[in-house]
Structure 1
Amino acid sequence: MENQIFNIPSKLSIYNAKLNAVGIDLGTLECCAFVIRKHGPDGVVLDEFTAQRTLPSNMNLSQLNFCYGQIAINRMDINAQFSIFDIKQLLGKTFNEIVIDPLWPFEVVDYGNQISLTCGKFDEETLIFGTSTALCSVLFKFMKQKIEEYQGTILSEAVITVPSSFSEKQKEATNEAAEIAKWKFVHLLPEPIAAAIAYSYEIQIPNRSTFLLFDCGGGTTDICIAKVYDN
C-alpha cells in the first residue's frame, strides 16, 4: 500500500439510506457488516445464535446441515471433521506459501496451483470441500443473505476490507469469492484506511498531520503511516 491516496469522507448529519451502501469486514476470526441508515452506519446482526453483529469466521459443512458462526464452533465438539476456519489465511496462496497448522481438523492439499481443503468422511467417502476461494464464497453468500434480510432488498455492491499486506493474488481471490457469492460490484479497501475513516468519525484528524495506524486483527497486524492534507 505504498504512496496511495484516499479520500476520507466527512461525517454527515443525515445519510441517503437509499444508496444501500454495504461494508464488509472479512476477518480471520470474526466478520462484521454495516449498512447505511439515515443517521449513519448500522451494524447487521450476522449470528442468529448469539444475536451479535460479529460472526465468527467458522463454518461447519456437514452434508446434513451447513451452519456458520458460533453454532459452527459449538459443533466442533461433536463433528469437528466438518469444520472450516482460518480461510482468510489461505486465500490467494499456493500450497508452498502456507504453514500447515497441526490443529486444523481439515487437510490442505495442492490442487492445480490452488489450495483445496478436504476433511471428514460421509458414507465412508472423504469430502472434498473445494478451494479456499470457493469456501470463502460460501461465507460471503451467507453474509449477503443476512444483509439482504436486514435491508429488505436484493443487493449487488459492497466494499470489502482487506489487509494492506494482501498481494494482488489475494485481492483477486477475495474479489472472485465475493463475485461467486453474487456480489456483482466489489470495492476493496485496505483495513487501516477503513480504521482511519472510522476514527475520523469520532475524533477530528488535524489537517497536515502525520500519524501511525495500527490495525490489530486476529490473523494480521497492519501498521501504516498516514499523512493528512487538504482537509
Structure 2
Amino acid sequence: MSGEISMIGSVILALFLAGYLGQQYLPPPKPKVIGLDLGTTFCSVGVFHPGSGEVEVIADEEGKKSIPSAVSFTTTAVLAGHEAVDLADTNPQNTIYDAKRFIGKIFEPEVMEQESARYPFKVINNNGSAEFLISTNHTFTVSPEYIGSRLLLKMRKMAEKQLGVPIQKAVISVPAEFDERQRNYTVRAANLAGLEILRVINEPTAAAMAYGLHKVDVFNVLVVDLGGGTLDVSLLNKQGGMFLTRAMAGNNKLGGQDFSQRLLQYTTERVQQEFGVPPTLKEDIHHLRQAVEAAKLNLTLQPSVTIMVPLHLQTSGSSPEGAAPATVHFQAMITRELFEELNEDLFQKILAPVKTVLAEGHLEKEDVDEIVLVGGSTRIPRIRRLISEFFGKEPNTSVDPDLAVVTGVAIQAGIMGGSWPLQVSAIEIPNRHLRKTNFS
C-alpha cells in the first residue's frame, strides 16, 4: 500500500516538474480568450499572456489602445473607431455613437424623445426599443447591439492580427447597473461579431482586479469612473475573493465631452471677439474641436498650451461679396487655471454621487480602504485633487485609468482560458436590490 502511495506521489511530482519545465523552456501557448471593454465613448481589447502573466492591451492600426465607440455608414462601407470619428462632422446623420446608452433598454416615449434630441443622428422608437435611422443610397434602421457588434468585430480582428490565431471566445464587461436584459443584449452584440461570451463581469469589479485588489486584504473599495460622457461611482465590499456592489450613483450627462465643450465655447467666443464673427463652417468647427480636445489632454501634464487653428471666416470687408471666406490664423494660450475655472461647477458635481454611495452604503469616508480611478477624465489634476481633498488621502493611481477596466477583463479572460500563472478569480455576488441614483 505504501508503495502505491509512493508511486502516486512520484507521478504527481513528475507531472508538476514537467509542467514547470514546460513553462520555463517551451514557448507559451497563444491566448485564446480576449477581454473586451465596450465603453460608451471608447472601447478596448486585451489579453492575458500565459507564462509571463502580463496583460497586453492591443493597439489598432494607428497604434492607439482605445478606439472611439463610433460607427459610420457610407454608400460603400461601414467604418468603426477612428475612421468613423473622422466622418462625424461631414456625415453626422449616419455616424452613430453612444449606442451603449440604448442597448437593451426599454424607453418611455417621452424619455426616448429627450435622449434622441441630444444627437445629430435619428433615433427611432420601435415598441420602446431604440433603433438608428441610416440614409445612404437607401434608408434602413440598425439596432444598438448591431453598432456594438461592429466595434466588437473590429477589436476581434485587431486581436487576431496581433496574436496570429483565430479568436472565438471572450469575457466582456458591463456597467454594474445593467439589468439582465441589457447584459443579454450586450452578449447578443458579441455573438453577432462571432464571439462566444464566457463571462460577463461588472466594470467596477474589473477595475478592482486591474489594481490587484482581488489578491490583497481590503474591504471597502470606491470606484470613480469618469469617461467621455458618463460618471459612475460604485462602492464595492470585498470579502475574500468575492465582490458585492453595495451602492451605485452617477451622472449620465457628465464627462470629458462636457469639459471640452466648455473650452470650445470659450475659444469660439474668443474668435468672435478677435475677428467679429464666430466660426460657422463645419470644417472650422471640426478643427477647433480637435484643437480643444488636444489642449484638454495636454493640460493634464502641462501648466499651459497654445491653440493654433487656421479658420475660414467671412469677415466684413475681408473679401468681396460671394468670394471665398478669408483665411485667418486663430491663436490662444490656454492655462490649466483657466480650464479649471471654466469647468469648476462641473467638477464639483462629481462629489454628489460620491456622497450618495457612502450614505447608501452606511460608511464614513474614513472607512474607504481604496479609491480607484477609472476613465480618462480622472487624469485631470483638479479632479484628482478634489477627490483626495474630500477623502483626506490620495486615490490609487498605479494603473492607467483609460485601461483599468480592459486590464481587469483581460485578467478574467486569462482565468477563464486556464492561463498560467493562475490568478485568483473575482467572484461577484449579485445584489438584486441595487438601484443606481442618477444626478444631472
TM-score, normalisation: structure 2? 0.44
* CA apart distance, 1:228: 3.6
In the other structure, the counterpart of 2:235 is 224
List, as ranges, runs of 4+ consecutive aligned residues in structure 1 with deviation greater than 4 Å: 13-17
Q: How does 1:18-29 map to 2 (within 5 A)?
A: 18-29=30-41
Q: Structure 1 residues 149, 142: CA separation in 2 closer, same or farther (over 3 Å shift)?
A: same
Describe the superposition over 1:38-87 as per-residue Cα deviations: whole angstroms up to 9, x where unpaired.
Answer: 421101113x2x32010011111113122222221121222222201001
Q: Structure 1 residues 77, 213: CA separation in 2 closer, same or farther (over 3 Å shift)?
A: closer
CA distance in 2, matches of 1:51, 1:224: 34
Q: Does residue 79 in structure 1 map to residue 91 in structure 2?
A: yes
Residue ranges of structure 2 left out of the alignment (5+ in a row): 1-22, 242-423, 425-440
SS in 1 for 2:91: helix
CA distance in 2, matches of 1:151, 1:175: 23
Larger-gyration structure (1/2) = 2
TM-score, normalisation: structure 1? 0.81
Q: Which of 88, 97, 102 pairs up with 2:117? A: 102
Q: How does 1:54-133 map to 2 (within 5 A)?
A: 54-96=66-108, 98=112, 99-119=114-134, 121-123=135-137, 125=138, 127-133=139-145
Q: Structure 1 residues 145, 131: CA separation in 2 closer, same or farther (over 3 Å shift)?
A: same
Quick check: which one's helix share is greater?
Answer: 2
Q: Which of 57, 80, 84 pairs up with 1:43? A: 57
Q: Is the 8 A contact 1:163 1:220 kept in 2?
A: no
SS in 2 for 1:18: coil
In the other structure, the counterpart of 1:3 is none
Residue ranges of structure 1 left out of the alignment (5+ in a row): 1-12
CA distance in 2, matches of 1:55, 1:45: 9
Q: Is the 8 A contact 2:172 2:197 kept in 1?
A: no
Greater relative contact order (CA < 8 Å, ≥ 6 in sequence) = 2
Q: Which of 159, 163, 168 pairs up with 2:175? A: 163
What is the letter of the counterpart of residue 35 of structure 1? V
Q: Structure 1 residues 217, 33: CA separation in 2 closer, same or farther (over 3 Å shift)?
A: same
CA distance in 2, matches of 1:155, 1:22: 8
* CA apart distance, 1:209: 3.1
CA distance in 2, matches of 1:173, 1:25: 15
SS in 1 for 2:30: helix
CA distance in 2, matches of 1:198, 1:208: 14
CA distance in 2, matches of 1:136, 1:209: 34
Describe the superposition over 1:125-147 as per-residue Cα deviations: whole angstroms up to 9, x where unpaired.
Answer: 4x223111222212211211111
Q: Which of 185, 208, 214 pairs up with 2:224? A: 214
What fraction of aligned residue pairs are identical, expressed as a percent? 25
Q: Is the 8 A contact 1:58 1:83 kept in 2?
A: yes
Describe the superposition over 1:127-186 as per-residue Cα deviations: whole angstroms up to 9, x where unpaired.
Answer: 223111222212211211111111111111111111000111110110111111111234
CA distance in 2, matches of 1:69, 1:110: 25
- The aligned length equals 212
What is the letter of the counterpart of residue 85 of structure 2? I
What is the letter of the counterpart of residue 214 of structure 1? V
SS in 1 for 2:131: strand
What is the letter of the counterpart of residue 233 of structure 2? D
SS in 2 for 1:192: helix
